[in-house]
Each structure stands twice: as structure tokens, then as C-alpha cells.
């Protein structure tokens, strides 16, 4: 029998209990349309393709229903020259409490000459005690067009879970024509809610998003983007330089970020967003 006053020891999760999932997909231009050329699926990750007249839309499905500490997901998407692919997720991704080590998600994107690649997942939700490490890498041709979005919700707010503890580490490395054009490191650890409550960090925010658009005409869209966000129900900042448009959004209510993103995505991209968002 364990004494009542015995210290609590976090149990170790055996390696065999951790999920390993992978998706590797390549898209090509074929007879004036874009199509799936190669696909590899492993673990509980699947890729599905609803019909879309404008582009090849791929929907990532996590059959496990979420991610826990120690899980690892490796995602690699390649869009060949002049092909057009949009990748999204079936639903918001849930990151559950980690017992010891962090969950890891690695995303690798490649866009060939004249290609159009869009990574537009739904939100990632960090539960109390979640630990998540994400890495984002991109290699794109000089004339390719790439749109990236990553939105994060801190806590299950509908259940009153807002004083959240955990860890989030994001690493971004984006290259165009072999040259590094964007690098960003983020690490939040410990009392995430208390950190986000600080005026200089989040001013109470529980939802964040980063939107990046990289294209030859990206800088020319800055005024349009600011006009679209002028009445947005969230805090935001937009900058443009060196063929890149970057927008960050913050809100105490994550649903307000999506409300701001939908018209932004549709107008800047010139076509509707992912159908699974509706």
C-alpha cells in the first residue's frame, strides 16, 4: 500500500505506447489539373481528397483523435512545378496532457517552379499540461506561391480551462531559391496562461495565429490586408518585406481569430477557403 503522504511520481510512458504517424505526399500538374502523384501513410494519419474544381484539396485526418506526450507526427508535402495543392485538417487538433516528454510535429513543405502550395490547418488546441514541439520547414522556387497558417488555442476555454500550464516550442525555417527568408523561434514554458496575461506578451490572449503569404506580389497586398483587418474583432499586426506578407493575430476569444481569417484568406488568395472549415 502506498502511504497517503508519499510524493507523486509521474509515470514513465513506455516507447511502445507512443504513436508514430507519417504522411508523405507529392502533387503534380496533369492535363491542366493538379493531382496526387505519390502518397505514403503510416500510423493513425490519413489523407483524404474531397472533390474541388479549383485545386487539389487534401484533408489530413488523425484517426487517433488527438496527440499525447511522446507522440510524433512527420508530415511532408511536395508540390511539383505548376501544380496547385491546398492542405488542411479535418478538425482542430487536440494536444493532451503530457506525462513526461513533449509531443513532436514536423512539417516539411516543398514547392516547385510556378507551383502554388497552401497549408491551412484548423486550430491546434493545447489542453492543460500539454507539451508540444513543432518544426516548420519550407523550400520553394523563386516564382512559387506559398500560403501558410498556424493557429493555436491555449486551454479548453468552454470548460473554464484558461489558467493553463504546459509548453509550446515552434521553430520556423523558410527558404526561397535556397536562401533563408524567414526564421522564427518561439518557446513558452510553464504557466502559459500567466505569461499570456502579461500586457507585453498577450494581454490576456488565449488564441494566436500566424499567417504567411510568400509570392512575387505579396508585398503589394499589405494595404489590402490592413483594410480587411481594420474592423477585425481581435488584435493584429501586418508587415511585408522581401516578397513576404506576415500577419499575427491575438484574441482573448479564439473564435474571433477565425472570424478575421476567413475573409482575409478568401480575398488575398482569390478563392474560397477549405470546405471543411465551414
Per the structure, the complete domain to which residue 262 belongs is given by 19-277
% the chain with pLDDT above 70 = 93
Per the domain annotation, does 6 fall within a domain? Answer: no
Q: Is residue 13 domain-resident?
A: no
- Does residue 134 lie in a domain region? yes
> Residue 17's pLDDT band (boundaries 50, 70, 90)?
low
**What is the reported pLDDT for 31?**
85
The tens digit of pLDDT for each residue in 143-183 reads 999 999 999 999 988 787 878 899 999 999 999 999 999 99
Q: What is the pLDDT of residues 141-154, one digit of tens each?
A: 999 999 999 999 99
Q: For residue 191, tell me if it sits in a domain.
A: yes
Contacts of 40 by beta carbon, 8 Å cutoff, 6+ apart: 22, 23, 24, 25
Phi, psi of 219 (to 5 degrees): -65, -30
Domain-located, residue 244: yes
Model-wide pTM > 0.85: yes
Q: Tell me whether residue 2 is in a domain.
A: no
Query: In whole angstroms, what is the distance from residue 196 CA to residue 156 CA?
Result: 15
Which tens digits make up the pLDDT trace of 64-87?
Answer: 889 999 999 999 999 999 999 999
Q: Looking at the domain assignment, is residue 73 inside a domain?
A: yes
Q: Structurally, how many domains does the chain consist of?
A: 1
Report how far residue 278's alpha carbon sits from residue 272's, in angstroms, rounded to the nearest whole number: 10
pLDDT digits (tens, 9 = 90+) for 199-244: 988 888 899 999 999 999 999 999 999 999 999 999 999 999 999 9
- 8, part of any domain: no
Amino acid at each position: 500500500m502506498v502511504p497517503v503522504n508519499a510524493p507523486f511520481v509521474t509515470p514513465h510512458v513506455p516507447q511502445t505506447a507512443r504513436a508514430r504517424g507519417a504522411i508523405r505526399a507529392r502533387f503534380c500538374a496533369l492535363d491542366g489539373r493538379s493531382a496526387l502523384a505519390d502518397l505514403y501513410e503510416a500510423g493513425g494519419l490519413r489523407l483524404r481528397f474531397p472533390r474541388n474544381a479549383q485545386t487539389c484539396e487534401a484533408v489530413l485526418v488523425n484517426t487517433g483523435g488527438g496527440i499525447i506526450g511522446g507522440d510524433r507526427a512527420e508530415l511532408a508535402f511536395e508540390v511539383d512545378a505548376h501544380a496547385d495543392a491546398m492542405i488542411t485538417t479535418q478538425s482542430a487538433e487536440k494536444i493532451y496532457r503530457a506525462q513526461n516528454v513533449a509531443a513532436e510535429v514536423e512539417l516539411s513543405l516543398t514547392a516547385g517552379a510556378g507551383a502554388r502550395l497552401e497549408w491551412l490547418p484548423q486550430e491546434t488546441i493545447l489542453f492543460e499540461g500539454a507539451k508540444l514541439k513543432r518544426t516548420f520547414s519550407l523550400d520553394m522556387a523563386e516564382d512559387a506561391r506559398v500560403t501558410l497558417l498556424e493557429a493555436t488555442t491555449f486551454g479548453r476555454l468552454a470548460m473554464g480551462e484558461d489558467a493553463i500550464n504546459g509548453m509550446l516550442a515552434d521553430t520556423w525555417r523558410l527558404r526561397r531559391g535556397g536562401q533563408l527568408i524567414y526564421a522564427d523561434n518561439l518557446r513558452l514554458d510553464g504557466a502559459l496562461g500567466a505569461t499570456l496575461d502579461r500586457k507585453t506578451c498577450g494581454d490576456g490572449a488565449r488564441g494566436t495565429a500566424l499567417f504567411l503569404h510568400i509570392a512575387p506580389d505579396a508585398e503589394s497586398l499589405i494595404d489590402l490586408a490592413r483594410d480587411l483587418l481594420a474592423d477585425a474583432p481581435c488584435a493584429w499586426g501586418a508587415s511585408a518585406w522581401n516578397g513576404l506578407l506576415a500577419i499575427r493575430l491575438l484574441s482573448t476569444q479564439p473564435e474571433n481569430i477565425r472570424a478575421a481569417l476567413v475573409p482575409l484568406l478568401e480575398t488575398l488568395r482569390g478563392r474560397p477557403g477549405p470546405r471543411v472549415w465551414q
